[in-house]
Amino acid sequence: MIPRFAHARPGSLVEAFEAFDAAGGDAAWYAGGTELLQVMKMGLARFGTLIDLKGIAELGGIAGDDAGGLVIGGTATHREIERNPAVQSVAPALAALAGEVANPRVRNQGTLGGNLCFAEPHSDPATFLLACDARVELRGPSGAREVAIDDFLVGPFATDRAADEILVSVRVPTAATDEGRAYRKIVFRERPAVSVAVRVRIADGAIVEARVAVGSMTDVPAVVADAGAALAGSPADAGPAEASFVVAADALARLPAEDDLDGSADYKRHLAGVLLRRAVSAAVSEALARA
């Protein structure tokens, strides 16, 4: 049972900050509430006031930016992201990912901003956005700042966001004409047990740059630089050389995974290697199609 709390529904950011101040800091922002209300029901969190951000128009919407990338409002739902034409064009892998988050209820109600701020280690969007070098815009009473997703996610259920800051938007860079991005996962109980996101650039029939991010295996999604470096220089047309995959998979196998209900650490490392192959293949295919 959820303890009693006050409720505020501001119509602007100014009103939102005023509501937070009036609560004396004993408040939490929410949009979809799919994660927050669950932890409150379990007694793992308690707030005197909940502030609903859904009524703030400037936090919603999805649009292109001047550089050809995407600006996704913090209260955009997973379903809106899945179906948005701009997302489907600029980042089709993100649209596909959004269509597979959890279950229909979560996709219709849950928001990208809420997902990232909750920082659940098994988040789908966080891993993909990490591979894409995405950034988040935060705004608080003292002003706005932009933070790379690498620096925003600092631990399990922990971010760089101050309590009085709101995640206003997520900025996803456009893919270059020689670039492909992909996300693959293995799912148990509606959440990924292991996920791998890959961004590659190709030139002259070879992978010239690769960025590999792994989610759900560690406390926070992580970029595995050694895996990306191992793939660079491999032929793209026929797929990366087996030796490159072996080195890249070995880099994933060194991640500090732990045994849990999703399987043993060794099993999850094996899954990561399988997903790496699938994600690289899909990313290379997209890059070749764009070239």
Q: What is the number of residues in the chain?
A: 291
- pLDDT single digits (tens) 209-233: 999 999 999 999 999 999 999 999 8
CA distance 40 to 113: 19
Task: List the Cα angle 170/37/121 in 5-degree steps.
Answer: 50
CA distance 273 to 214: 10
Tell me the average confidence (pLDDT) per consecutive run of 10 residues in the chain, 291 residues long: 89 97 96 85 88 97 94 98 97 97 94 96 95 98 97 96 98 95 94 96 94 94 96 79 85 91 92 95 92 75
CA distance 107 to 9: 22
What integer pLDDT is reported at residue 20 of this predicted model? 97
Q: Residue 146: how many CB atoms within 10 A of its CB?
A: 12
Cα–Cα nearest to 126, from 48, 217, 32: 217
CA distance 122 to 54: 24
3-state secondary structure of 236: coil
All structural domains of the chain: 6-52 (3.30.43.10), 57-172 (3.30.465.10), 179-290 (3.30.390.50)
Going by the DSSP 8-state scheme, the letter that residue 120 receives in this structure is -
CA distance 273 to 246: 9
Going by the DSSP 8-state scheme, the letter that residue 205 receives in this structure is T
What integer pLDDT is reported at residue 9 of this predicted model? 97
What integer pLDDT is reported at residue 238 of this predicted model? 60
What integer pLDDT is reported at residue 36 of this predicted model? 84
Distance of CA 118 to the CA centre of its chain: 11
Walk across the sheet containing 179-188 and list its strands: 179-188, 191-203, 206-215, 222-223
What integer pLDDT is reported at residue 236 of this predicted model? 85
Residue type, position 116, single letter: L
Q: Residue 155: how many CB atoms within 10 A of its CB?
A: 10
What integer pLDDT is reported at residue 136 of this predicted model? 98
